[in-house]
Structure 1
Amino acid sequence: MPLLQSIVHRLDPTLDGERLTVTAAPGPADSNDDTMAALVSKLADTYNTKAKGWGRFASEGEQAGPLVAWLDAYSKGELEFEALSTQLTERLARELQETLSVGGYLVIAHQRQGDTETFFFALLHQREGIGIGEAHQAVPAAQLNTQQLTLAARVNLTQWQQGSGAGSQQYVSFLKDRGAKKLADGVAAVLGMEEGIDAPAETRTLLKAFSDYVESEDLDEEASREKTDTLVDYAHEQMRRGEPMTLEELSGLVDEQAPKAFYEHIRNADYGLSPEIPPDKKTLSQFRRFTGRAGGVSISFDSHLLGSSIEYDEGQDRLIIKQVPKQLKEQLAKRKE
């Protein structure tokens, strides 16, 4: 992933803890700095695995902020990257001075991957470690903790610049840890964005729609498993890339012979899903199939059906199936004939 521009500023709380001070970098990093590129890549990988809020820039009102104007001026060559980064850091310092009690290094980067350009920033903390020096002796060695981000956000510049007609409406994202709500709200305010989607809820609804679709198609176990694997693999790939799932693209992957079938199922049943859904890692991790085989009996079903159409009575050691698959019912009916 080519690193077009990058810089690192420092944020520190004052001794009284009432405000944050900014120590600006002397200048941007060299665009050919492989170490800096590796750092930003690690941060992006960590960011992609975290829970996030998604949305777009607010067009007007109290939510709108100056960042969109700064990015616009930067994209037009009217504002230097260093000036943009300094303005952003100073605004973060003012907005977060009451919620951020620990200092750190603010890494800001402009990247390109394929045809997509992104603007990314993340606050890193440094921890003390131990290394081996030139004399082969143990020496103190400070290390950046790239696995635990305090705050981070990303703007998909390409999608934003495409506009509402052709572009995504989920092009801004930020870390949204439930244990740091005030901090997340502060970052959202700095971004000047409006959240447009509840990723966990949308992911749950998508999985429900998928299970309904598989049942309506009356697929055998192998075909059902293949389609489930396709959905999960696609979701994890989008998560790795830091991009939302697209319903039309997913539909084509789920059934290559009828690429519109799953998409039409969603629309016809009116699940209320957005065209693009940021995959939620926790929700996906809970989406799996229970399977078992013993004494000539083979059972397999999606985990989310447990408690609704399927019940497990642990005391009696039995499963209660409330909605018998159509194919099975037909076979049972023929047996009586």
Structure 2
Amino acid sequence: MSVDMQHLAINFIALTDSGEHKAHYRDDLIGNGPAVATLVEQLHLAYNGKPAKGYASFNAEKSDRVVNALADWQAEQSNFLGFAKATTDALVVELSQHQLPETGYLLLAHYRYLASEFLLVCLLGSKDHFELSDQLELATSRHLDIGRMQLAARVDLTEYAVNAAKGNYISFIRGRAGRKVADFFLDFLGCDEGTDARVNSQKVLSSVEEYLGAAEFANEEKTAARRQVFDYCEERAKAGQEVVLAELSAVIDPEQENGFLHYCAEQQLEVAEQFPVEVKELKKLVKFNGAGGGLSLSFDEKLLGERVQYDVKTDTLVIKGTPPNLRDQLQRFTQGYSSFDQS
């Protein structure tokens, strides 16, 4: 996998001693080169790897600063550096209005991946690393903290150009800080949230299960189909692409490629032809897990009915064959630790 890097701009947003946000601008773009291409690829992979994303589209009435700057750049009335400065200015205004203490490096990466063109906007923090020279002299270097990317959004510029009316050409990381941060980033970009990937995923789960039952799949066929559905959706999500219903139909039932497609139409299940999904939600297709009351359990779906038996009436699980490390702990506890060699 590789991305075709086009432009990369980096500006820095800091807090002054009086608590006001101030932008520090780089005078030119980051030059193209292998290291820069690797950085953009890491940003792309880190963003795709975030499990919880929302989807949105521009609303010029909400805020036109970024929308207008993007339109000027795409119309070649300004260059990418000018677009980056205008976007940074818009973020400073939004941070001040929301009275948030967020600071960091604002990266705007324009790149191509597969058949699509993307614009990734992210605010990253940094962390200091320590280095030792051959003479054991200590030095520090500052690194971008890509692993903790939380404030980020990506515009599918290709989809925006050819199918803006559909919406959902902007994705963003929901993050762990709750809706307040997500709302602030949407306000900064001038977006309204659209399709909920989690709801789409739940709809896929229920629709697939309905079809497997209606088509009278055998138990082992159901297990194989669920795994194929999950693998396909996970691959699409990691590539930053939406699930295509026609492709999903062929994955579920290769012998009847349009079987699931026709079933959704006949049952009026309202599954879109193309939609984003949330991989975390789809894991329920292939794995059971839960925790509470001091108990934590997780096992593959294919084990239910074989090594794992569930009695609905008594709400009881019977597990045949425990993992070696758990078995060792249980045996030591029940037989007394002193009876084992502790060496």
Give the TM interval when normalised to the shorter protein.
0.7 to 0.9
Tell me which residue corresponds to 1:47. 47
Partner residue, 1:71 = 70
In structure 1, C-alpha distance between the alignment counterparts of 2:253 and 2:241, rounded to whole Å: 22
1:300 to 1:11, Cα distance in 2 relative to 1, 3 A: same
Counterparts of 1:64 and 1:275, CA distance in 2: 30
Cα distance in 2 for partners of 1:249, 1:13 equals: 49
Please list, as runs of the form range in 1=range in 2, the aligned pairs for 1:188-227 lying within 5 A after superposition: 188-227=186-225
Q: What is the CA distance between 1:300 and its match in structure 2? A: 8.6
Once the two structures are TM-superposed, the CA of residue 230 in structure 1 deviates from its matched residue by: 1.6
1:130 paired residue number: 130
Give the deviation of 1:15 after TM superposition: 2.1
RMSD across aligned C-alpha pairs, in angstroms? 2.6
Deviates more, 1:150-159 or 1:279-288: 279-288
Tell me, yes or no, if the aligned pair for 2:245 and 2:261 is still in contact at 8 Å.
Answer: yes
Q: Deviations over 1:76-127 (max 9, x none)?
A: 2221000000000110111122353142111111101122100111111111
Residue 272, structure 1, aligned to residue 270, structure 2: yes
Counterpart Cα distance in 2 of 1:312 and 1:131:
61
Would the alpha carbon gap of residues 220 and 68 (structure 1) be closer, same or farther in structure 2, given more than 3 Å must change? Answer: same
The alpha carbon displacement at 1:180 in A equals 3.6
Q: Distance in 2 between matches of 1:101 and 1:186?
A: 12
Residue 25 (1) aligns with residue 26 (2): yes
2:307, 2:211 → 1: CA distance?
Answer: 19
Q: Distance in 2 between matches of 1:312 and 1:280?
A: 32
Over 3 Å counting, the alpha-carbon distance change for 1:172 and 1:312 in structure 2 is farther
Which stretch shows the higher mean deviation, 111-120 or 270-279? 270-279
Name the structure 2 match of 1:335.
none
Match status 1:37 vs 2:31: no
**Correspondence list, 1:80-119, <5 A:** 80-97=79-96, 98-119=98-119
Distance change (3 Å), C-alpha of 1:187 and 1:312: farther
Q: 1:94 to 1:213 in 2, by over 3 A?
A: same
Q: Partner amino acid for 1:63?
A: K
* 1:282 match: 280
Report the Cα distance in structure 1 between the residues aligned to 2:232 and 2:188, rounded to whole angstroms: 32
**Distance between the aligned counterparts of 1:312 and 1:22, measured in 2?**
63
CA distance in structure 1 between the aligned counterparts of 2:37 and 2:164, rounded to whole angstroms: 31
Counterpart contact for 1:155–1:171, Cα < 8 Å:
yes
Aligned mate of 2:10, from 8, 11, 16:
8
Secondary structure at the counterpart of residue 108 of structure 1: strand
Secondary structure at the counterpart of residue 218 of structure 1:
coil
Q: Aligned AA for 2:254? A: E
Indicate conservation of the 8 Å contact 1:151/1:175, yes or no: yes
Cα 1:207–1:134 shift into 2, 3 Å: same
SS of 2:177's equivalent in the other structure is helix
Secondary structure of residue in 2 paired with 1:3: strand
2:170: which partner in 1? 172
| Partner Cα separation in structure 2 for residue 263 and residue 178 of structure 1 | 36
Shift of 1:287: 3.0
In structure 1, what is the Cα distance between the partners aligned to 2:316 and 2:182?
Answer: 45
Consecutive unaligned residues of structure 2, counting only runs of 5 or more, are 288-300, 320-343
Work out the CA distance in 1 between the residues paired with 2:78 and 2:134: 43
Residues 134 and 109 of structure 1: CA distance in aligned 2, closer, same or farther (over 3 Å): farther
Determine if contact 1:127/1:144 at 8 Å carries over to the other structure. Answer: yes
Q: CA deviation digits over 1:10-43, x for unaligned, max 9?
A: 01122232x3110001200112x22222222212
Alpha-carbon deviation of 1:298?
A: 4.0
SS at match of 1:135: coil
Deviations 1:193-242 (A, max 9, x none): 22211111220111111111111111123322222122111111111111
Match for residue 242 of structure 1? 240
Task: Give the gaps of 5 or more residues in structure 1.
Answer: 319-337
Equivalent-residue separation in structure 1 for 2:273 and 2:205 (angstroms): 14
> Residues 243-258 of structure 1: matches in 2 within 5 Å?
243-258=241-256
Alignment: residue pair count: 302
The aligned runs of 1:147-186 (5 Å cut-off) are 147-164=147-164, 169-186=167-184
| Distance in 1 between residues matched to 2:77 and 2:313, nearest whole Å | 64
Tell me the amino acid that sits aligned with residue 285 of structure 2: F
1:9 to partner: Cα distance: 0.3
1:131-187 per-residue CA deviation (whole Å, 9 max, x = no partner) reads: 23353544223222111013111000001100247xx53210111125242221121
What is the rounded CA distance, in whole Å, between the counterparts of 1:131 and 1:183 in structure 2? Answer: 34
Partner of 2:296: none
Please tell me the residue identity of whatever aligns with 2:269: Y
C-alpha contact (below 8 Å) 2:129/2:142 kept by paired residues: yes
Identity %: 23
Q: 1:261 to 1:315 in 2, by over 3 A?
A: closer
Alignment check: 8 A CA contact 1:291 1:299 kept: no
Q: Contact (CA 8 Å) 1:119, 1:157: kept in 2 or not?
A: yes
1:327 matched residue in structure 2: none
